[in-house]
Structures are given as C-alpha cells and as structure tokens.
Structure 1
Amino acid sequence: MKLVCKLCNIEITKHLVELQNLNLLNENDGEDYIPSGFYIVGDGRYDRESKGKIIINLNDLINSKHHSDTSRLNGCCGLDGLDGINTVCINNHEIGTENSDCWMAHYVTLEPDMIGWVED
C-alpha cells in the first residue's frame, strides 16, 4: 500500500505494510522510531500529538519537501515538529510533521485527513 496527498493524488510514500510487532519501535534519540517499509497508527504512547495519525520512517517519504513557512522548521539538529505541520507534498499541500531533532526518535506523522491510501 502507498499513501498519497489527498488534494493532488501524488504518491508521498514508498510501499508500506502495517507493523504488527510493536517491539520493533525504537524510542532512542537520533534513531529511526519505526523500521523502513512499515507504518503504524499512532496511539499517543510515544508522542501525544501522534494519536490517530499515520507514523512512518523518514526514508519512506517521497515527493515531499519542508514547509515554506520557516517558523514551522524549528530544531537544533533537525526538525522538532513542535510548531505545526512542517512537511508538504511537492505541490505544496500540507501532509504531516517531520520529527528529526537530536533529542528524539526520528519519524514522520501524516495527517489522516490530508492523505489517502492506494494499492500498489
């Protein structure tokens, strides 16, 4: 399955499969939170703001870029995701939030109302 931007229908992820073994999630700072190739629906356990959102590995995101509003791109070594949606598709539609700062595990949360699913 792949995810697409709901507004323009461009693919925004590589092929993904739901992660069944949640023991593979990694909360270590500076490391991938979720293995590449997988997604989960956030339950708010690691990040309260992720509840109900799709969480993927940064390396699985395609056809995307950082938001043009630089006030949303805060962080010291990466993006901390604390200032709102900071990731858009290549057509500038908001899709989610990158969390990649040094003091957190790295992942992207995608907004369910801004994305769609397609079979591949």
Structure 2
Amino acid sequence: MNVLRCTACGRRLTEPVRLLDEMPGFPPADWLPDPGGNRQGPPSVPRGTYVADPLPHGTYTADSLPHGTYVLHPDDLVDLTPHPDVKRLIGCCGPNGRSGINHVCACGAEIALVTADCCSRYETRLVQDAVRVEVAP
C-alpha cells in the first residue's frame, strides 16, 4: 500500500492505496442520481486503488495535463481544495475537468484534476510531477 504526498509541502494527499497494473475497463453507467442526489459517472478505479497513467490525459485540452497522472477514486483523497479560479470548476453536475487542473493542495500547489460530472468519468488525477509516492506505514 502507498500514500501520495504533495512534493511542494509533503502533505499526505491520499488514504493508503494499492497500485493496479493497468486501468480497469470503464464500467457501464445508468446516469441516474445516487442516494445523495448526485449525478456522476461511474468511478474509473475501485476505491483503495490507483493507476499510473504515463500519458497526458487526452480528453482534456492539450495544456490541461501535460504530464502523466495517477488516477484515483475521489473518495481516496484527503486535504484537496477546489481551485480558487472558479472557471476551472465548471460542468453540468460537477467539475468536468475540461478547464485544466481544478484542485490544489492546502499549500496552494496545483495538484489535481477532478472529474465528477454526469457526463464524464468519476475520478481524480494527481499530476505525477506534483506528487510523490511513498510506502504506507
């Protein structure tokens, strides 16, 4: 099990997570509201896991995520804050991630792209250059 930390300040960003060998297939979606009334696509990865994606995330604009990312279930993240530029948080039912990095570490470092819109995958992508992976204690 690993934890991911902010390279700028060392703050822990995730619960302990296990690295998967590859991205799981995208699960089918019913696009109905969950018990809390939120509409989100299905999660890209199961809770408690993450995947290293070495390529820029092609769904987004070319300058959104120029480097590889770690793809996590949003519920495995701790201590992330929405970006102060609210234009980066737009979407139908949540942030769609098409406006670049939209979450920051508590220290202010731009660190993650969260997609939680009804028309997108439900995931958090931590920019590999902004985080470091450590073995969980």
Bigger radius of gyration, 1 or 2? 2
Distance in 1 (CA, whole Å) between partners of 2:70 and 2:76 is 12
1:74-113 C-alpha deviation (Å, 9 max, x unpaired): 1010100000100111222111100110011200111111
Q: Cα–Cα, structure 1 residues 35 and 4, in superposed 2: closer, same or farther, change >3 Å?
A: same
Aligned to 1:98: 114
* Secondary structure in 2 matching 1:113: helix
Pair 1:60 & 2:76 matched: yes
Aligned to 1:18: 19
The root-mean-square deviation of aligned C-alpha atoms, in Å, is: 2.0
After TM superposition, list the pairs within 5 Å mapping 1:1-120 onto structure 2: 1-20=2-21, 22-23=23-24, 25-26=26-27, 28=29, 30-42=41-53, 47-48=57-58, 52-120=68-136
Identity over aligned pairs, percent: 27
* Secondary structure in 1 matching 2:50: strand
Structure 1: unaligned runs, 5 residues or longer: none
Q: Is the 8 A contact 1:40 1:56 kept in 2?
A: yes
Distance in 2 (CA, whole Å) between partners of 1:61 and 1:23 is 19
2:16 alignment partner AA: H
> TM-score with structure 1 length normalisation?
0.87
Q: How many residues align?
A: 118
> TM-score with structure 2 length normalisation?
0.77
2:82 alignment partner AA: H
